[in-house]
Amino acid sequence: MEDTRTNNVAPTDASRPFASTSNDAVTPSEKVEGAGVQACETLKGLLDKDLGFHGADGRFATHAWHPFPAKFPPQLPAFFIEALTEEGDVVFDPMHGSGTTLVEAQRLARYPVGCDIDPLARLITSAKLWPLAGLEAMEVGRGIAESAAQRFQEDKDGLVGALERRFDPKSRDFVDYWFARETQLELLALLQEIEALADPTARRFFEVVFSSTIIAKSGGVSLARDLAHTRPHRAKDKRPKSAFTEFDKRLRNNLVDRSDVRRCDHELRGAPAQATGLDDSSVDLVVTSPPYANNAIDYMRAHKFSLVWLGWPIADLTDIRKGYLGHDAKGGVVPNAGGIKTNTDGDGLDQHFRWEGELPARCIDTLNALRAIDARKADVLQRYFMDMAAVFQEMVRVLRRGKAAIVVVGSSVLRGIDVETHKALAAIGEAVGFVLVGIGTRELDRDKRMMPARWGKTRTSRIEERMHQEFVIGLVKP
């Protein structure tokens, strides 16, 4: 098990104070031309501000529609979107997750564009960006719940037959382990009503409501103790909640504050962040947050609990998980595209986008220090760095000249070595062609931020114990 203590960090060359890989005597503004000069100066001022947004309410508009771990507050992307773009500009998040950046871009009359290979992330974000009208949602939702409850009472035999036909054997085993039989029938009754809706906008909205009855801090209607924090544990003594009651509760929650809810044109892609398929120089601002370097948050571990009900076989979800950035499993389902080469040398990186350049010295120092202790973890970290280099290279390609990229990242500690992810990624950013303007720091509200939970004697997550800060990397394309 990895050592996550921050007070026992091995001294390595990678622990030295961060310095730009280029000439430090040259300011960022002197490395760019035209509009890039103003972008650098503006961005430098923004990074010096308080980026914590403590006490700010993040549950407005559609932001609270579905639990999602490690979301940054909507005020953070809004802060940069308002300062660095104008109405109609393209705001891009290549790893959009639950869509926080894109919803804020939509709310501020920008054009949101996002990529994510996670099917649930795409479903949630799509529903948020093209929401159902409030009155219509309440009326249809009540009809779904009433009809489903009636079917559950009057046609259990029909539901049992449909349930047996719905899943392949591996998915069937998963569902039987994690869901009580009565809960399975309740969920299927709800799903049959949702799937009968002709309007795809309505279907998406109610699929998100349905999913949020399963993925919840309490474990929702499953037998899991906790799903909102992504590390499920089966609670043998848990009494499952009524799926009908939870569906109604989540529906009402999603209709509470709709003052800032609007529809707008947007673009969502199932493409990986390394090869988005976007046109060259087509984006005005990137705001994104990559995963942790140690794979601390395993999104698919929780997401499969609802995705298996929404038609995704467990085996397919396992393959998709292998395509996550920095994942340590072999293979993946992400196809080759965009001119980024794949590795077929048998090192576990098959079918995965690769960056063909050399990693910066800071990254190499960290990898060498870690490899002396744990070669396997060093290999995983190397893949993460290479993946992120490919992502940054793609960000440079799609951004217009003089435009900024904002990357929000937390650090990781592997076997007592502080990876200092923010400094490593800043160096990678410079290596692929960005100008590094600076790195801001934001203190975390850990009582609000959903992080993975490990239940034990202290009932405290080890990642929660060490996650006090995040870092905001500010980059500009020259």
What pLDDT is recorded for position 4? Answer: 34
pLDDT level of residue 246 (50, 70, 90 thresholds): very high
Residue 469 lies in a domain: yes
CATH number for position 54: 3.40.50.150
Only one residue has tokens 């409501």, namely 209
Residue 313 lies in a domain: no
Indicate if 206 and 66 belong to the same structural domain.
no
What pLDDT is recorded for position 9? Answer: 35
pTM as predicted: 0.85
CA distance 46 to 395: 20
Residue 260 lies in a domain: no
Residue 307 lies in a domain: no
Indicate if 66 and 156 belong to the same structural domain.
no
Parent domain of 193: 134-254
Per DSSP, the residues of 197-233 read -S-HHHHHHHHHHHHHHHSSTT-TTSSBS-STTS---
Model confidence pLDDT, tens digit, residues 114-144: 999 999 999 999 999 988 777 788 999 999 9
Domain count, the chain: 2
Q: At 413, phi and psi to the nearest 5?
A: -115, 120
Residue 297 lies in a domain: no
Residue 382 lies in a domain: yes
Indicate if 112 and 164 belong to the same structural domain.
no
Indicate if 348 and 466 belong to the same structural domain.
yes
Indicate if 361 and 414 belong to the same structural domain.
yes
Residue 228 lies in a domain: yes
Indicate if 350 and 466 belong to the same structural domain.
yes
pLDDT level of residue 256 (50, 70, 90 thresholds): low
Indicate if 110 and 226 belong to the same structural domain.
no
Indicate if 444 and 379 belong to the same structural domain.
yes
Indicate if 108 and 180 belong to the same structural domain.
no
The two structure tokens encoding residue 461: 């997550």
Beta strands in 231-356 (DSSP E): 267-269, 283-288
**What is the pLDDT averaged over residues 182-196?**
98
Indicate if 112 and 167 belong to the same structural domain.
no
Tell me the average pLDDT of the chain: 84
Indicate if 221 and 146 belong to the same structural domain.
yes
Indicate if 42 and 184 belong to the same structural domain.
no
Residue 349 lies in a domain: yes
Model confidence pLDDT, tens digit, residues 447-471: 555 445 444 444 444 444 456 789 9
Q: Is the pLDDT at 342 greater than 50, yes or no?
A: no
What pLDDT is recorded for position 353? Answer: 56
Q: At 216, phi and psi to the nearest 5?
A: -150, 160
Do the beta carbons of residue 413 and residue 5 sit within 8 Å? yes
